[in-house]
Structure 1
Amino acid sequence: MLLSAVCDFSFLCYLSFWCEVLEEVNITHKYLQDVGLTLEKCIVKLQGLKAFLADQRSEIVEKAICYATTTCKEMDISMERRGRVKLHKTMPGEKAKDAGLTLPEEMKRAMFECLDRFHHELEIRSQAIEKILSMFAVIQPSSLVVATEKDIRNYTPKLTEIFEEFSNEDIFRQTERLRRHLEASKISVEQAKKWTALQFLEFIVKWDYCESLPNLSLCLRFFLTLCVSIASCERSFSKLKLIKNLFRSTMSETRLTNLAILSIEHEYARKIGSDEVIDTFAEMKAQRQRMSIIAHHLCRMVTLDLCVFLFIESVLTVK
């Protein structure tokens, strides 16, 4: 059964076809997993993959047909259709049947359809990334370091239309101020161009430039705290990713308030025996007890009732 399925013209066509396509996809996939990859570089790589699918469309299909035809001739494999021939009823008055597609022509049609669908899906799924890049183009490394005044003034309106608390002039002046701070810190342009948005924000916080660059630092914070989804097109087998997605999607105002209180009362929060609390929570949860009962039980374990309750509400509970 397996040998007959492998020794088939259709199988050989798809073997060459997907080998060619998935090689480029794998290269792009590895590149997108690099640490510190900027959004700008990510979009350029995706555009390169889309260009490959559009420009090499005919070459990929012709190469697959040629490979399958050559291999079938060398191994004496039949190139005829397998299976039962379908009979179509002829209506009165019809003299000739419609000419059907041959097997190579049918394979060409199927492979072209695969490439077109792949390109279309890639185009749709990259639109959200391109929209975010267009909105936050002013805080991308290339813009913060080497963009001209004209470019910056073209980028800022897209951001100020969404966030009304920013002004075009303030962002432009603070961008120039950031460049002077980088120059004073003896950080070269080439080195700064390789930075990510997080590294720029860390630089501002480290040197305490938040007061002199308030709007710029706030833009970077907005960009770095955008809600994202992991494995949106497939089922992730990582429980950690599933939990992170769940927390992002259920992040309510109450939970954010509790996290803020925990941040303010960080000295008391550090005294909580989190390991003991988590172990007790897991044990009681396994017994399928109600969350309110578990919360009150954990609050009685320590004297810091408020901190424990906030800890449970903010980190452990799932709405």
Structure 2
Amino acid sequence: MKRKMYAAVDRLKAEISNRSQRLLAAIESSFGDLFRLNILLSLDQEGRQKLIQQFAGKYATDVNAADLEMEIEDIQIFLKHRKEKPANVVEFLGFMSSHSGLCPNLQVALRIMLTIGTSIASCERSFSKLELIKSYLRSTMGQARLQSLALMSIEKEVLDCVNFDGQ
């Protein structure tokens, strides 16, 4: 019985890892050019429209496609005439943030792209905790105890707020 449970947990962990890798690969192929500053700044009108349609189709509630296109075109012109250009996307986002109101839709798009990995990581972190518990107590624990410990570990912030003294 325990072997089947451990095999199921291992399989579930592997499937979640594969799923997150496929998701990141799909995002990269769809609109990964938002990450590549040199490509983003050199896109022609057709390339900009294609990238924006793909991105705005997925995140229509977060960005305005028409404004995003104008912002990318404006930032291309603006940075073309600057001597110092941002080296990477994070530096580019910092540059835009320091100039208040500069390209708000592009800032949102870049923030979305930069945080996708962390939103996927929270699920993987739960299974990482489960793996640590399972490995450490593998031979001495039943299913109910494993589930309880996993829940306590995953919901640590809530558990820290609980008063066990009854006061």
Q: Distance in 2 between matches of 1:125 and 1:211?
A: 33
Opposite residue 288 of structure 1, the aligned amino acid is F
Opposite residue 131 of structure 1, the aligned amino acid is A
Cα pair 1:137 1:143 within 8 Å, conserved = no
Give the match for residue 235 of structure 1.
128
Question: What is the CA-CA distance between 1:225 and the residue it aligns to?
Answer: 3.2
Moved over 4 A (4+): 121-125
Give the match for residue 70 of structure 2.
173
Q: Which of 95, 104, 108 pairs up with 1:218?
A: 108
| 2:90 pairs with 1:198 | yes
What does residue range 1-319 of structure 1 map to in structure 2 within 5 Å? 126-140=21-35, 141-165=37-61, 166-188=63-85, 192=86, 194-195=87-88, 197-206=89-98, 208=99, 210-226=100-116, 227-229=119-121, 232=124, 235=128, 246=154, 288-289=164-165
Give the match for residue 47 of structure 1.
none
Q: Which has the higher helix share?
A: 2
Q: Give the share of equivalent positions with the same residue, in percent.
A: 15
Pair 225,246 (structure 1): closer, same or farther in 2 beyond 3 Å: farther
Cα pair 2:93 2:107 within 8 Å, conserved = yes
TM-score (norm 1): 0.31
Question: What is the CA-CA distance between 1:124 and the residue it aligns to?
Answer: 5.5
Q: Distance in 1 between matches of 2:17 and 2:123?
A: 15
Q: Distance in 2 between matches of 1:184 and 1:146?
A: 13
Cα pair 2:20 2:120 within 8 Å, conserved = no
Give the match for residue 254 of structure 1.
none
- What SS class does the counterpart of residue 235 from structure 1 fall into? helix
Structure 2: state its 5+ residue gaps.
1-15, 133-152
Question: What is the CA-CA distance between 1:159 and the residue it aligns to?
Answer: 1.4
**Structure with larger Rg:** 1
- CA deviations 1:74-116 (Å, max 9, x no partner) are xxxxxxxxxxxxxxxxxxxxxxxxxxxxxxxxxxxxxxxxxxx
How many equivalent residue pairs?
124
TM-score (norm 2): 0.54
- What SS class does the counterpart of residue 155 from structure 1 fall into? helix
Pair 218,181 (structure 1): closer, same or farther in 2 beyond 3 Å: same
Cα pair 1:143 1:152 within 8 Å, conserved = no
Q: Distance in 1 between matches of 2:122 and 2:108?
A: 25
